[in-house]
Structure 1
Amino acid sequence: MPRLKEIYPTATQLCDVPLLDLSQSVLQVLGSKLQRPQDAECTQNFLSGVRDDYDQNELAALACSEAWSWLYCNGFICHHPSHDAQWMTLTRLGRKHYAQGVSLKSWIADRQLPEDMLHASLRSTALSLFRQELFDTAVFEAFKVLEVSIRQAAGLGDEFLGTKLTARAFDPKGGPLTDKMAEAGERQALMNLMSGAIGSYKNPQSHRHVGLEASEAREMIIMASHLLGIVDSRRPT
């Protein structure tokens, strides 16, 4: 059965670990101990063990209490139904993640940007990069996929790039991907939307490091996914 002391030999090392990584380690320790449904661990006993292992270091105990609380609030541990409130056990989610060795970082990324929300062509490119926290590159790849998809669907050559491509493909007066049955203002608006998305979200990523946060990248990738769906609907049958 692993102990935190084996993972983090000193209190300083333990206290310096990011919360998500420490929570992963606490889940690993609990998973090895709580193998059966009837198994439980007392919160105070666990934290007392941390104090004993780290020479009564209160900062180490506090860090582990934070990790314990994170696991509880996110549904990885819960109160054991056969014990008092201090006694906890793994939830179904906790058991699954322990058994499969799924990292909490991957779980967070899946919640931020679920695979089933995205166009299939983005799952092996932009989504993979997003999960690696390469947010600028993920957004660039998403809109590069969109640009390539527009060019292929419209049957245009490689000389059409960026906003020049979208203006030609969705030209409201006869672009190959414009909906000739739609009202003129709507056709113009869709061309503007495609051009604005490529110009605003693909081009800056190709010229410089933008420094996107996860929330910004998620919204942009979802937009690219939505626009890819529109392109698919305009492909000639």
Structure 2
Amino acid sequence: MGISDLETLSNDEIAALPVDRRALLVLADAVQLDTWNWRNWCLGFSQNRPSPGLATAEAAIAEAWGWLISRTLISTKGGSYDFHDFHVTTAGREALERGLAYVQATIRLDVELVPSLERKVRPQFLLGDFELAAFAAMREVEIAVRDLGGLGTDLVGVPLMQNAFREGGPLHDPTVHPAESVAQMNLYAGAMGLFKNPASHRRVDYYDPSEASEVILLADLLLRILQRQRASSSS
């Protein structure tokens, strides 16, 4: 669906669209028309549309504008005292350029990450370097396991996780059920084997940025588990 397709949709079709998809169509149409006042855009939208279902479509369009504001894809226009004036933000321009999948992935990642991921990984992701962001996230897990376990740099990836969490290893917790210890070892080793090791040897393309965001969220979970384990051992 292209940027000019909004006017080709019926009122019912507009109302039936998911709000994020509908919002990007609205934003693209407003940019194409060089609109800077969303109230005027709404008036123009309603002017030539058929009456049946118009009220429902208008409510859906209003919801789309609200969604754009809440996601900071548009903002009030600097120097203007008219609430209806707006400009497209940097995030909004990125959304139009990269598409709905990118927007959905950034929303999925719109949570507080552990500090190392906030500093080193989120900026890469927002720049569209999905492969590097996912790889960097898993590398942070690898670094944290090595540091917490006091292990040398001769071990990387899966062998590092297996040595760290195996029975008698520096991160093995003898107080939990043996099956849980094995599961933890397999969780960390599997994450390295599937998401970090391949990117170390070849290009891994994340055609769906949501998949890259999920890898980052998995790394965030693994790092939080390590933080809890560090706090527990300290106490």
TM-score where L is the length of structure 1:
0.64
User: In the alignment, which residue of structure 1 is the partner of 2:175?
Assistant: 181
**1:155 Cα shift?**
0.7
Could you tell me how far apart the structure 1 residues matched to 2:203 and 2:128 are? 14
CA distance in 2, matches of 1:72, 1:114: 23
Residue 26 (1) aligns with residue 30 (2): yes
- CA–CA separation in structure 2 for the residues paired with 1:42 and 1:98: 15
Which string of whole-angstrom CA distances, capped at 9 and with x for unpartnered residues, describes residues 154-184 of structure 1?
111111111111111111x211112110011
Would the alpha carbon gap of residues 92 and 122 (structure 1) be closer, same or farther in structure 2, given more than 3 Å must change? Answer: closer
Moved more, 97-106 or 20-29: 20-29
CA contact 1:150–1:166 (8 Å) conserved in 2: yes
Q: In structure 2, which of residues 117, 120, 128 is the aligned counterpart of residue 125 of structure 1?
A: 120
Using the TM superposition, give the Cα deviation of residue 120 of structure 1 relative to its aligned residue in structure 2, in angstroms.
2.0
Letter in 2 for 1:74: A
Structure 1 spans left out of the alignment, 5+ residues:
1-13, 35-39, 49-67, 78-89
CA distance in 1, matches of 2:59, 2:123: 29
Q: CA RMSD in A?
A: 3.7
Q: Map residues 10-89 of structure 1 onto 2, 5 A cutoff.
A: 23=27, 26=30, 29-30=34-35, 32-33=36-37, 40-41=39-40, 43=42, 45=44, 72-76=62-66
Residue 114 of structure 1 aligns to which amino acid in structure 2?
D
Question: How far 1:22 moved relative to its partner?
Answer: 8.2
Provide the rounded CA distance (Å) in 2 between the counterparts of 1:95 and 1:224. Answer: 27
SS in 2 for 1:200: helix
**Distance in 1 (alpha carbons) for counterparts of 2:211 and 2:225:** 22
User: Secondary structure at 1:97's aligned position in 2?
Assistant: strand
- Unpaired segments of 5 or more residues in structure 2? 5-22, 48-57, 79-88, 96-101
Rg larger for: 1
- Number of aligned residue pairs: 185
- Shift of the 184–69 alpha-carbon distance from structure 1 to 2, 3 Å rule, reads same
The two structures have a TM-score, normalised by structure 2, of 0.64
Report the counterpart of residue 222 of structure 1 in structure 2.
217
Contact 2:131 2:204 in 1 (8 A): yes
Identity %: 29
Give the equivalent residue in structure 2 for 1:142: 137
The answer as to whether partners of 2:164 and 2:172 remain within 8 angstroms in 1 is: yes
Which residue in the other structure is 2:91 paired with? 103
Residue 202 (structure 2) aligns with: 208
